[in-house]
Structure 1
């Protein structure tokens, strides 16, 4: 059963750990990764999470036999470049970031522990990721009592030129919708509305009322666990970027950063002290 709504302004986006040299991001075949999750704190009321672009081995763990095992290629650099673009726009302020380093074929951190791990060796990687996400969410709630935003960054290839929103039909952003109405999640000043204004095809389409999300992309375990329908959650939005957008759009990180800032200002997450000229 889902927990009752909370009356706080918080939005969740997915990512985790401390950035380390590239040589430490993966291990040789047959060896456990040195670090299982990357997690960096930020200055903005924003968390970006990346669950499915890891490439590290987990010891001799066999590949999972159920569910998707392919990486969401390009989602980690998209999140990291978006963080850099946000820093440029705000004079050095960045979002928090959490990235799963283990390959999805060994562990799927966007499923429950029981579903996402088929080997005991994969459990520490799953728990490491969620410990970091939970810690970042708790820190955002502490530092930004008026609200924070979480975006869980994913990729899909079924509709290559389209960006899908996933909030379990508004549930994981319940506090936002309660405060500002459905227009805040799907209207012209919503996050996907801001991206549509920058030329991207988004689903559901921009309008002032909520419409059903595509059930393939309507929100996974991360947003369901940390969204604002949970007592200790924040507003959480899953974004599924089509493969063509990730492969061809060199401007996507800049556009996403600008859209995030515009949306956060509209929704009341962004402190007045954050200056972003031109956004």
Structure 2
């Protein structure tokens, strides 16, 4: 009788534990590529992480349409060049976990930590791969959305810090000259900040880059050049954005990224 009395509660606890569990690999889209470009999309997910409660601190707003922008741009790059960028895209909601923050600030539940580690481990793996394959001449683009200035695309690089290798190799023109990514977008009538004629690399402090680019950028010995792009709400609604973004990346790659010969 005593065994039967406690069997049901134990069974319920077991069932609840299983219900709460999640597989971190199912919460992150990871797609390898074959060009020296990595897209990171941390804030357009809508899924929960087990039964974790929403975070009570920090930004939780979804960067709507940034996943679609990354995936459409990847498809167009393949169509235009025959090659695709690497993709790491969060399926989980920023309400539960923000991977663009340090681990201690990114979550309020230990249950979220496996997803946090999985996201950054996938990025780190791709960074290592492209760094080796393309002799360090590669770029991580962390894609975000903002509504503070809906008609503007903001570049973030910690004022050039996370593109240390690129600046040393090619100078400021690679980051905000006519053939930089934002320079190409400006030439297609998008409003960008900083503008290509800016006299220095100073960025808007609201959008000058978060944890992802600082953790994986070339400010680290094992990192690659990394920028954050904050696309304004109105720019994300532009039907031509993905195509224009793809063209800007192609122009930048042709000018500033030299692919290493394929190994036999």
TM-score under structure 2 length normalisation = 0.88
Post-superposition offset of 1:211: 3.4
Residues 40 and 74 of structure 1: CA distance in aligned 2, closer, same or farther (over 3 Å)? same
Contact 1:32 1:57 survives alignment (8 Å): no
Post-superposition offset of 1:210: 2.3
SS at structure 2 position matched to 1:123: helix
1:174-213 → structure 2 map (5 Å cutoff): 174-207=164-197, 209-213=199-203
SS at structure 1 position matched to 2:226: strand
Structure 1 stretches of 4+ with a deviation exceeding 4 A read 30-34, 270-273
Q: 2:215 — aligned with what? A: 225
**Bigger relative contact order (CA 8 A; separation at least 6):** 1
SS at structure 1 position matched to 2:89: strand
Q: 1:36 — aligned with what? A: 27
Contact 1:171 1:229 survives alignment (8 Å): yes
Contact 2:130 2:136 survives alignment (8 Å): no
Q: 1:13 — aligned with what? A: none
Is 1:49 equivalent to 2:40 in the alignment? yes
Contact 1:183 1:209 survives alignment (8 Å): no
RMSD: 1.6
Flag structure 2 segments of 5+ consecutive residues without an equivalent.
1-18
Q: 1:170-189: per-residue Cα shift (whole Å, max 9, x none)?
A: 00001111111112111111
Post-superposition offset of 1:37: 1.0
1:54-69 → structure 2 map (5 Å cutoff): 54-69=45-60
Q: 1:162-203: per-residue Cα shift (whole Å, max 9, x none)?
A: 000000000000111111111211111111101101111000
Post-superposition offset of 1:33: 4.8
SS at structure 1 position matched to 2:154: strand
Post-superposition offset of 1:208: 6.3
TM-score under structure 1 length normalisation = 0.83
Q: 1:211 and 1:109 mapped to 2: Cα distance?
A: 26
Q: 1:110 and 1:154 mapped to 2: Cα distance?
A: 10
Q: Which protein shows a greater Rg? A: 2
Flag structure 1 segments of 5+ consecutive residues without an equivalent.
1-29, 274-279
Residues 208 and 150 of structure 1: CA distance in aligned 2, closer, same or farther (over 3 Å)? same
Is 1:157 equivalent to 2:150 in the alignment? no
Q: 1:242 — aligned with what? A: 232
